[in-house]
């Protein structure tokens, strides 16, 4: 058989469940080898019974017996805990690892998968933000390809297919602007969690939805793009495009700009990453020009949405600064979701940590681990 055997890390999330829809629609192309969740064991069990993977991993060890009871009799191996996730990606039978878990937790399993020579379909952008130099260096060394799942980076990838020998002059990342586009700082003081969780164009996990509202998501994507496509900070532009139809653009050295377009639906970039170099016939809804008499573009408001500027600063500074930015943001978003801080406090916490945590110019893996830990402690200290 010529099926691609896929491990999905974070199969119960927004990206994970959509990846399973893609696999279900193309059973001749893909088979599921591994599924994983953090604590949603009911959905993990249901997915395993449907897709019959070789193994599953439940992050939270308290759920181990429940999952084991349900799946062992079906000949599905069950593992638990953080280390199990990093170990299971090395299984011989895996061709491609889709990293669809959220935040810093993706770093270790991604490193182990690359070390084991697996192709990566990367949704977990935080991993590249934290340790882009280390990850891309390792991938080069091992001859491993990293296929972007993020819609903007998939768009850029789709624009450069067939042009890998042509240098990129710059890329233009599009941003929807989120639910608070056009609002002033004053208006943002009082916005609620419920308002921030309502994204105009995309239905995603909670963390990335808040990141979209603060523009940190675009900031993380700027850093992600730098590492995926080998760019300098000056080669990455951001333009607000509220309709989310153009998913991003590439400008080449002759001045020509290529864009990739379509209705906002993550299944397309997920499928493109999994099926590359092929495009699979699919029934995704088609874009219709008559429904969109105008596609509009505006400058991002970095004074109001500080996070985007902080991300550019972190990228220019390099070293462990993006790791600090990411860890502070993860803590701040989690605390905002618990109603412990306000919306504007998120970027204040990030900026504070960037000023306070020791800078390391060329961090080792251990340095990243320590920076992440220290930043989390510092962020909670400020919040308290
Ligand atoms: P979700 O929160 O919907 O899903 C996260 C998944 O990871 C779940 O399966 C969850 O398990 C698991 N998980 C959570 N925490 C841990 C942990 N500490 N260790 C192991 N597994 C964990 O996130 P999304 O699907 O929205 O996002 C996933 C990644 O993809 C993020 O990095 C995001 O930035 C990126 N992305 C997402 C897009 C989207 O449309 N959603 C678009 C572009 C990028 P459980 O269900 O048990 O909690
Ligand atoms: Mg994106």
Q: Along the 384 residues of the chain, how does pLDDT read in single tens digits?
A: 689 999 999 999 999 999 999 999 999 999 999 999 999 999 999 999 999 999 999 999 999 999 999 999 999 999 999 999 999 999 999 999 999 999 999 999 999 999 999 999 999 999 999 999 999 999 999 999 999 999 999 999 999 999 999 999 999 999 999 999 999 999 999 999 999 999 888 899 999 999 999 999 999 999 999 999 999 999 999 999 999 999 999 999 999 999 999 999 999 999 999 999 999 999 999 999 999 999 999 999 999 999 999 999 999 999 999 999 999 999 999 999 999 999 999 999 999 999 999 999 999 999 999 999 999 999 999 999
Which residue among 100, 152, 216, 263 is best mutated to probe the pocket of ligand 1, counting the most ligand atoms within 8 A of its Cβ? 100
Give the distance (Å) from ligand 1 centre to CA of residue 347.
22
Nearest in space to 245 (alpha carbons), one of 163, 155, 159, 305:
155
Q: How far apart are the first and last CA of the chain?
A: 56
CA distances (Å), origin 45, targets 10, 23, 177: 13, 17, 37
Give the distance (Å) from ligand 1 centre to CA of residue 156.
22
Can you say whether residue 121 is alpha, beta or left, with left for phi > 0 and alpha for psi between -120 and 50 degrees? beta
Q: Work out the widest C-alpha separation in the chain, in whole angstroms.
A: 61
Q: Which ligand number lies closest to the CA of residue 222?
A: 2
Q: For residue 348, count other CB atoms closer than 10 A to its CB.
A: 16
Residue pLDDT, tens place only, 150-159: 999 999 999 9
Can you say whether residue 317 is alpha, beta or left, with left for phi > 0 and alpha for psi between -120 and 50 degrees? alpha
Q: What is the pLDDT of residue 1?
A: 62
Give the distance (Å) from ligand 1 centre to CA of residue 102.
4
Q: What is the pLDDT of residue 2?
A: 85
- Say if residue 13 carries a ligand binding annotation: yes
CA distances (Å), origin 345, targets 166, 184, 222, 306, 351: 43, 15, 22, 11, 10
Which residues are within 8 A (CB) of 239 and not within 5 positions of it... i.e. 6 or more apart?
172, 173, 174, 175, 297, 298, 299, 300
Q: Is 219 in the pocket of ligand 1 (CB under 6 A)?
A: no
| Distance in angstroms (rounded) separating the CA atoms of residues 237 and 234 | 8
**Ligand 1, closest atom to CA 11?**
9
**Ligand 1, closest atom to CA 44?**
47
For atom 26 of ligand 1, which residue has the closest CA? 205
Give the distance (Å) from ligand 1 centre to CA of residue 124.
7
- Say if residue 288 carries a ligand binding annotation: no
């Amino acid at each position: 058989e010529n099926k691609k055997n896929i491990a999905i890390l974070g199969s119960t999330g927004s990206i994970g469940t959509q990846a399973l829809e893609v696999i279900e629609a193309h059973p001749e192309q893909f088979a599921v080898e591994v599924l994983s969740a953090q604590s949603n064991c009911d959905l993990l069990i249901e997915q395993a019974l449907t897709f019959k993977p070789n193994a599953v991993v439940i992050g939270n060890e308290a759920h181990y017996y429940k999952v084991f009871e349900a799946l062992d009799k079906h000949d599905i191996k069950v593992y638990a805990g953080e280390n199990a996730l990093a170990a299971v990606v090395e299984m011989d039978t895996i061709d491609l690892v889709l990293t669809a878990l959220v935040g810093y937790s993706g770093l270790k399993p991604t490193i182990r998968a690359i070390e084991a020579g697996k192709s990566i379909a990367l949704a977990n952008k935080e991993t590249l933000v934290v340790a882009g130099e280390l990850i891309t260096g390792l991938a080069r060394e091992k001859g491993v390809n990293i296929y972007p799942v993020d819609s903007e980076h998939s768009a850029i990838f789709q624009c450069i297919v067939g042009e890998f020998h042509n240098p990129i002059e710059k890329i233009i990342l599009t941003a929807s602007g989120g639910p608070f586009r056009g609002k002033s700082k004053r208006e943002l003081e009082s916005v609620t969690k419920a308002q921030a969780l309502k994204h105009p164009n995309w239905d995603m996990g909670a963390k990335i939805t808040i990141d979209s509202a603060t523009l940190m998501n675009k900031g993380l994507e700027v850093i992600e793009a730098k590492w995926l496509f080998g760019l300098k900070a000056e080669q990455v532009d951001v333009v607000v495009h509220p309709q989310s139809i153009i998913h991003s653009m590439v400008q080449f050295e002759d001045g020509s700009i290529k864009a990739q377009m379509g209705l906002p639906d993550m299944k397309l970039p997920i499928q493109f990453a999994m099926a590359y170099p092929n495009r699979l016939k699919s029934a995704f809804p088609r874009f219709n020009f008559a429904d969109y008499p105008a596609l509009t573009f505006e400058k991002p408001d970095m004074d109001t949405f500080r996070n985007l500027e902080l991300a550019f600063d972190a990228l220019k500074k390099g070293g462990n600064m993006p790791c600090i930015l990411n860890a502070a943001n993860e803590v701040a978003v989690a605390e905002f979701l618990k109603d412990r801080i306000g919306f504007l406090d998120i970027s204040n916490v990030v900026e504070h940590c960037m000023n306070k945590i020791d800078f390391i110019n060329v961090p080792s893996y251990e340095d990243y681990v320590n920076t992440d830990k220290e930043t989390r402690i510092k962020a909670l200290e400020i919040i308290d």
